[in-house]
């Protein structure tokens, strides 16, 4: 593997203007790039990313600063735990995202998407705001099993969760801002919101436990797994995991849906094909998950959106012991950034990488594809996310024709997921 070099000053200047612009400074053809004399390297090829996330994954952990922001906002969960604690938590959680539960979750998603899209009105809509609202609705119903309408607990969960998400977004985009321990007005609001969310979630757990009906949402599955043999999750761990899943599933899926619908709004023929697949969804005498496997156009649009607009533009790891990458010795504490955005737009891996082309041959396991990460810490909810994306794209296009009429294309920014700067307005009309 080859090693390149990036000048620290150039990188800082570019990053101040735009995180995506800074990735353009990475030298072509290098597998790993160093940055000045800092204990910081960029694993900029799929080969080096594979080394960090899969082959030598035991030598790395999530950096303290990233873990601490998530812990401060959401509590301890699979996104922040490491080592044996992470493995012990993952074992009881992983089964609830299995295929056996997916048809029931898909039905919840389908109903939620149809209901949300039916409330829109012809004219202009901020599709980014609409997708944020939609994915929160899906999270409330599919992860927590609650309806927002006339449900005080659901309303409180959503309100406080959105307040916490705003704080996390600010912290990621303002890394030098005072830590949670500092009694700033923003931090005091966060503590109050976090306490209110935890209280509402524990009340929801108590309410769900008192019910005798079996439910297929994620919270219901975790509660049903409390067999009393000592291997199940305690209530606090269940609450923390559900809050973590809401953060990951809502924010990243809203980002992907926004960019996919924008690209479809530029391509009426492709949009009509997705709409046709949405109209046929669930019509055959088969389960929804099986039906989703017969939606080649929608699936292609989803894959190409995940490639061009990865919600997480980078993955960051910290060496927890001395190790080696591309023949370079990395000392304990060295930060390693994997620029997912630039890898998935690499000219050496993709033909015309900045062109949205759903006709590409695509394999999620192929070189140059990291939409849900790699290795043992690959996103546990990837199947849940893909199911939601396919359903939402096809059913929204079934109800609505979308057109982008602005003079300038939207500008991607990280906030912390890949979002459009400001609003992303589309004109919508009912599909005939």
**Residues 6-31: tens digit of each pLDDT:** 888 888 777 777 778 788 888 888 89
The encoded tokens of residue 196 equal 């209110």
What does DSSP assign to residue 421? S
The encoded tokens of residue 299 equal 């699936």
DSSP H helical ranges for 234-267: 235-265
**Backbone φ, ψ for residue 355 (5° rounding):** -105, 130
Q: What per-residue confidence (pLDDT) applies to 207?
A: 86
Kindly list the averaged pLDDT for each block of 10 residues, start to end, along the chain of length 432.
84 76 83 90 93 95 88 89 88 84 89 95 97 93 81 87 89 83 93 93 87 80 73 83 87 95 98 96 76 94 96 93 93 95 90 93 76 89 93 97 95 87 96 88
Helix (H, G, I), strand (E, B) or coil at 430: strand
At residue 333's C-alpha, the angle toward residues 331 and 336, to 5°, is 90
Q: What per-residue confidence (pLDDT) applies to 177?
A: 87
The encoded tokens of residue 309 equal 């607009």
What would the pLDDT profile of 170-183 be if each residue is shown by its tens digit?
888 787 788 888 99
The encoded tokens of residue 70 equal 């998530």
Contacts of 264 (CB under 8 A, 6+ apart): 270, 271, 274, 301, 393, 397, 402
Q: What per-residue confidence (pLDDT) applies to 331?
A: 95
SS3 content of the chain, % helix, strand, coil (to 5): 55, 10, 35
Helix (H, G, I), strand (E, B) or coil at 355: coil
Stated length of the chain = 432
Could you count the other beta carbons within 10 Å of the beta carbon of residue 75?
19
> Helices then strands (H, E): number in the chain?
16, 13
- Structural Rg of the chain based on CA atoms: 22
Question: 370-401 in b/e burial notation, b at 16+ Cβ within 10 A?
Answer: bbbbbeebebbbebbbbbbbbbbbbbbbbbbb
- Bridge partners (DSSP) listed for residue 315: 338
Could you count the other beta carbons within 10 Å of the beta carbon of residue 254?
25
Domain at 3-430, CATH class: mainly alpha
Q: How far apart are CA 300 and CA 150, in angstroms?
A: 38
Contacts of 58 (CB under 8 A, 6+ apart): none
Could you count the other beta carbons within 10 Å of the beta carbon of residue 149?
9
**Backbone φ, ψ for residue 66 (5° rounding):** -70, -45
Place of tokens 């690499």: 346
Could you count the other beta carbons within 10 Å of the beta carbon of residue 19?
20
Task: Break the chain into its structural domains and give their ranges.
Answer: 3-430
Q: How far apart are CA 343 and CA 347, in angstroms?
A: 9
The encoded tokens of residue 249 equal 């599933």
Q: How far apart are CA 428 and CA 127, in angstroms?
A: 10
User: DSSP assignment of 9-32, as one string?
Assistant: HHHHHHHHH-HHHHHTTSPTT-SE
Contacts of 168 (CB under 8 A, 6+ apart): 69, 70, 73, 74, 247, 416
Q: What per-residue confidence (pLDDT) applies to 364?
A: 65
Pick from 241, 165, 180: nearest CA to 419: 165
């Amino acid at each position: 593997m080859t090693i390149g070099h990036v000048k620290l000053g150039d990188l800082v200047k570019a990053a101040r203007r735009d995180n995506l612009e800074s990735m353009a400074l990475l030298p072509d053809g290098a597998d790993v790039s160093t940055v000045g004399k800092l204990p910081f390297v960029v694993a900029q090829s799929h080969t080096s990313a594979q080394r960090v996330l899969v082959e030598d994954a035991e030598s790395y952990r999530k950096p303290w600063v990233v873990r601490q922001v998530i812990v401060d906002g959401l509590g301890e969960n699979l996104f922040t735990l490491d080592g044996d604690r992470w493995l012990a938590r993952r074992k009881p959680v992983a089964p609830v995202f299995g295929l056996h539960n997916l048809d029931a979750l898909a039905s919840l998603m389908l109903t939620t998407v149809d209901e949300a899209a039916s409330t829109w009105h012809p004219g202009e809509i901020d599709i980014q705001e609409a997708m944020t609202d939609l994915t929160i609705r899906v999270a409330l119903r599919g992860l927590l099993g609650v309806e927002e309408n006339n449900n005080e607990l659901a309303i409180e969960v959503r309100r406080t969760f959105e307040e916490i998400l705003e704080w996390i977004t600010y912290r990621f985009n303002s890394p030098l801002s005072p830590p949670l321990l500092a009694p700033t007005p923003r931090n005091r609001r966060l503590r109050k919101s976090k306490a209110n969310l935890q209280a509402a979630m524990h009340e929801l757990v108590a309410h769900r436990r008192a019910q005798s009906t079996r439910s297929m949402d994620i919270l219901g599955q975790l509660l049903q797994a409390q067999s009393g043999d000592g291997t199940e999750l305690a209530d606090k761990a269940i609450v923390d995991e559900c809050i973590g899943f809401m953060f990951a599933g809502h924010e990243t899926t809203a980002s992907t849906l926004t960019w996919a619908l924008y690209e479809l709004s530029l391509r009426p023929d492709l949009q009509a094909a997705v709409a046709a697949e949405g109209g046929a969804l669930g019509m055959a005498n088969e389960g929804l998950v099986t039906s989703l496997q017969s939606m080649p156009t929608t699936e292609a649009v989803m894959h190409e959106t995940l490639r061009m607009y990865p919600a997480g533009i980078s993955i960051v790891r910290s060496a927890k012991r001395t190790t080696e990458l591309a023949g370079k010795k990395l000392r304990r504490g060295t930060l390693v950034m994997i620029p997912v955005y630039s890898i998935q737009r690499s000219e050496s891996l993709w033909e015309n990488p900045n062109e949205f082309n759903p006709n590409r041959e695509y394999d999620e396991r192929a070189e140059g594809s990291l939409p849900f990460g790699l290795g043992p810490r690959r996103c546990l909810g990837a199947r849940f996310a893909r199911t939601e994306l396919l359903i939402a794209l096809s059913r929204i296009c079934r109800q609505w024709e979308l057109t982008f009429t602005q003079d300038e294309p939207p500008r991607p920014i990280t906030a912390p997921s890949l979002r459009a700067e400001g609003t992303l307005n589309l004109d919508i009309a009912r599909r005939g």
